[in-house]
Structure 1
Amino acid sequence: MRKQQSGKIINISSIGGSFGEPHGAWYHATKYAVEGLSDSLRMELKQFGIDVVIIKPGAILTEWNGIARENLMQVSGGTAYGDLARKHVKMLAEADKRGSSPQVVAEAIYKAVASKRPKTRYAVGGGAKIILFLRNILPDKLFDRLMLSLIKR
């Protein structure tokens, strides 16, 4: 790509690369890492005409949600975090019903690849745009309360 002075690197992150939630520190840390890596690469590679794009899916109808719920209960269900973990599992199950087809991720990748001037980030899928909008406008502690309220319903 450097030799031809063009190219695109498309990294798949998550809306979880922009906020945290209970029981998800390990997951959110990896997504924040993808975001930081991509942001740094984008600046480094600009001189070579290489674009770096991040795809940020929200709720997508894959096996991820079921695996996350199962692991959450295995790890935290019988601990001091058990009550909140059970509520979180319930919220995740409800969110899964509002997920989008994986096709929206494929379409975002295609859009980024086909664009002469791609955006740096594409938020797609169930709830992605609204949750990122709220994350950007709300103070941290208010956003934290919002996240906890979604879990504790």
Structure 2
Amino acid sequence: MMDQQTALVLALQLVALFSIAGALLLYLICKIRGNHESELSETSPGAGKPVLVTSCDNAIGLQMAIHLANRGFRVFAGLKNGASSGSPEDSIPAKVIRAWQKHRESVQGLGNIVALPLDVTREDLLYESVDIIRAHLPAGEDGVWAVICTNGLTYRGPLAQQDIGHWDTILKTNIVGVLRTARTFQNLLKNSNGRIVTIGTTDNMGEGLVAYAASRYAVEGASYALRQELSPLGIKVVTINPVGILPELLFCQPKLAKNTNQEETSVDINNGTEFQPLVLSPRALEIVDVALTSAVPKTNYTLEYKYKWSRQLNLWRLI
């Protein structure tokens, strides 16, 4: 039977052991949290860094453009029809961008948005966009910080009932468009040690998206190959993977979210202009910031989403 002194020594040893284990656990928790916070702390405002969003005609592109401009980036927003002078035929993204530009006049600390005509399936517009961007860069600068390839098309339906023309259009936009963009902007990216951001595969896409899925896996493969080829030039290639969102939402045309009595699109500094759907959650936008501003970004980042159907607005809303 253990005497009282031995029991006391053993108890003290156990207390010391648990204290050490607790201290180690606390250290690991703080280390992990510190790494996470330091990673996010690198996502300082864009401070005028030039960024191209290749397509703002869809939900993800428009939301990224507004968010990055709010963060201080100088955003070049690609629109298939460009941005006219306020004609009624303007697309909704063009109206949203113009409303944001008007809002910027009264708020300090924001970046800027320059809308330009861009269609990644057209070589002439790609090279014209290079000239437009160069014309808007400050004297002595000749590079862009990032090119975000948000161009994308999707078509859902049974393979046997699909038109081959749909496949050609999807592949031409989703994958060939990325390759055209990378080649066109290679020099501007090399001059600034910039990065290309692509949109990769998702999960739970459902049935009827064979051509779309093929294009997204092709983007993943192309991004890997581009990473190997462009790394010696100082160009980084990052892929974001939107998880839990239907591709139809990702690349749908935005709708204005305003009252019927409201004549102009309203703007809020925290949420951007009022349009739907907002496909990126605040946490997803933080991850996008990390992908854009980290000195050594990961090759892949995962963005997660949760949605519910709004009967009042007749569209999907982020929850």
TM-score for both structures, normalised by structure 1: 0.49
Structure with the largest fraction of helix = 1
TM-score for both structures, normalised by structure 2: 0.25
